[in-house]
Chains A and B, each alone.
Chain A
Amino acid sequence: MSASKTSKLSAYLIVGLGGLIMLAPFYFMFVFATHTRVEIFNLPPPLLPGSAFFENLKILTDKIPFWHSLGLSLYVALASTALTLVFCSMGGYAFAMFEFKFKKALFALVMGTMLIPSFLSMIPSFMIMDALGWIDQPRALFIPGAASAFGIFLMRQFVSACIPKEMLEAARMDGCSELGIYARIVLPLLKPAMGTLGLITFIASWNNFIGPLVVMRTPEMYTLPLALRSMQSPVNTEWGALMTGSAIATLPLLVLFAFSSKRLIDGLTTGAVKE
């Protein structure tokens, strides 16, 4: 009995300690955000919050158009979430509930592109954006992403698992129009899945680095990750201010995660678990 108790205790200890190590970088990000550059590289380094937050913020807003980049990131993330939700709920519903020509082939094609590494289309995507005149345009970031294969997959899974075909048939018999069925029956039932997909899309867009790196070429149009990276220089990086910016950029994600970690984790691993 006592042997199993010690093994249980050591399990708690090791897993707990590992968890703290996982969280430590976040803790130091927030601690360093409130210290000047000089204080961060002190001996010993600061372990508790300091008082230089506003000083850092001043440096940050002087060096980069921080609030503009934050606003741009928010705009792109919201637009991308809205478009993805509309297009993927429609597409997922179509794939789950209707029979049409080439349905299987089309679905296989869409899923296939999910497996293909994204770097393959980086250069042509840039050239398309260039040809469309979308370089430095926020729409270059939220319109292409709205055709999300993952979103279609998630929605199709959810529709076929949770919405009975009979319910739609009944609505049709009662004279509900097809668009009415989608808007008044399918959409409300899809709410939980839309919540998950919305969260995932928002976070992915908020964190997106390669996308804006390729299409956003002038510093005035940098999204938050690009703007933060532009502060990095080989000789004279304002680490305190950079940590302040990183902390502000991370905070919304921490809040979202705190309220929806279970839903997020389930959503991000659906593909794997369903297989």
Chain B
Amino acid sequence: MMRPTQSTDLKKIANLRLTPNQVPYVLLAPFILLFLIFGLFPLCFSLFLAFQTWEPTSGLATMQFVGLENFIFTLEDEWFWKSLQNTFWLALVSGLPQHLIAIPLACVIHASFKRTRNAVVGAYFLPYITSTVAIAMMFSTLFSTDYGLINQALSLVSQLPFVGELFPNQATDWLGRAQNIKPAIATVVFWRYVGFNTVLYLAALQTIPKYMYEAATMDGANRWQQFWYITLPNLKPMIYFGVTLSLIGGLQLFEEPFILTNGTGGTDQSGMTTAMYMYRTAFEFNDFGTASALSWLLFLCVALLTWLTNCAFKSRGGSA
């Protein structure tokens, strides 16, 4: 072994010369530390909390194990079932149209837009990156009962001949009446995420080889047949992925209903989602144990539905 001179010794210390074996640990250390404390530990701790009860005012010392009590309490709670119903309704009504619109939209943009493509995609995508609070505030004014823009537009349309009959000519109380809150929330959610899905489908469309369409044209397939027999089957993996994302996101919907109903859940709790109910159980009713149990029950629903979607896509793939 060569003896390094003192000056290179110092240099080496200054350079913190690590062996390649040590490097990954040093590089990963800060990330792993944060991940363990703020990522992994809370998850495990949450499961622990779901089986405990304690007085928040007297601290964690009063914590005691209560078995399944928190879960049973939640399962017997009317508001839990109501919130779950709201959540499913919203996930379906805001989620399904996103894909029914995004797929044809992506096809049209893919086929007909070249120079203006980025601008058009940008316009549809923009709501996805803006603040939910700003969006919800904006829609609150638009949905306003007496002079809101949406009601004024509806009353204008209702005066048209023929089609007018389909639209209400009286001002609709969107965010006040129980039956209207969910459609209003679903509208906002749809508006916010439809562009994101369009971008997903555009990316998938680019991977479909052109020769497939050329061959189909030569065989005399019309546009509709091409869409049905080439585009749609090729989009299937992305539809599966997009629907799963919408499902996972939709079932944990929190911000839009929370802000649109001013944190209350709206008249008759008809805009209260399960994630929102969990937040209120924890921070309004100060029951962290029950709230943790509630969050795990919601997680079970998400996992179950994700798995069912997976099965549905797989079985249809097998028969086709």
Report which A residues bind B (CB closer than 8 A).
8, 11-12, 14-16, 18-20, 22-23, 25-26, 28-29, 32, 40-45, 86-88, 90-91, 93-95, 98-100, 103, 106, 109-110, 113, 115-128, 143-144, 146-147, 149, 152, 172, 177-180, 182, 203, 206-207, 209-210, 213-214, 224-226, 228-229, 232-234, 239, 242-243, 246-247, 249-250, 253-254, 257, 261-262, 264-265, 268-269, 272-273, 275
Complex contacts, A264 vs chain B, CB 8 Å:
129
Complex contacts, B134 vs chain A, CB 8 Å:
29, 225, 228, 246-247, 249-250
Please give me the residue from chain B that is nearest to A225 by CB atom: B133
In the complex, which of the residues B20, B43, B254 contacts A210, with contact meaning CB atoms closer than 8 Å? B254
B3 CB–A CB distance under 8 Å: no
A94 with B23: CB separation less than 8 A: yes
Contact status of A147 and B142, CB under 8 A, knowing A26-B126, A113-B39: no
B96 CB–A CB distance under 8 Å: no
Complex contacts, B138 vs chain A, CB 8 Å:
25-26, 28-29, 32, 243, 246
B228 CB–A CB distance under 8 Å: no
B122 with A257: CB separation less than 8 A: yes
Q: Mark B119-161, 1 if CB is under 8 A from A, else 0.
A: 0111111111111111101111110101111001000000000
Complex contacts, A209 vs chain B, CB 8 Å:
131-133, 255, 259
B195 CB–A CB distance under 8 Å: yes
Complex contacts, A95 vs chain B, CB 8 Å:
28
A206 with B131: CB separation less than 8 A: yes
A177 with B137: CB separation less than 8 A: no
7 A-B interface contacts by CB (under 8 A): A15-B120, A93-B27, A116-B43, A207-B130, A210-B255, A261-B121, A265-B121
A123 with B46: CB separation less than 8 A: yes
B84 CB–A CB distance under 8 Å: no
How many residues on the B side are at the interface (Cβ–Cβ under 8 A)? 96
Complex contacts, A172 vs chain B, CB 8 Å:
20
Report which B residues bind A (CB closer than 8 A).
12, 15-25, 27-28, 30-32, 34-35, 37-43, 45-46, 49, 105, 108-109, 111-113, 118, 120-135, 137-142, 144, 146-149, 152, 191, 194-196, 199-200, 203, 237-238, 241-242, 245, 248, 251-252, 254-255, 259, 262, 275, 278-279, 282-283, 288, 291-292, 295-296, 298-299, 302
Complex contacts, B133 vs chain A, CB 8 Å:
207, 209, 225-226, 228-229, 246, 249
Q: How far is the CA of A73 from the CA of B32 in the complex (A)?
A: 26
Q: Which 3 A-B pairs have the closest CB atoms?
A: A147-B34, A121-B42, A144-B38
Identify 4 new A-B residue pairs, CB closer than 8 A, beyond the known A127-B288, A261-B125: A43-B147, A90-B27, A146-B34, A264-B129
Shortest Cβ distance from residue A160 to the other chain B in the assembled complex, whole angstroms: 14
Q: How far is the CA of A233 from the CA of B25 in the complex (A)?
A: 51
Contact status of A122 and B279, CB under 8 A, knowing A228-B137, A257-B122, A269-B200: yes
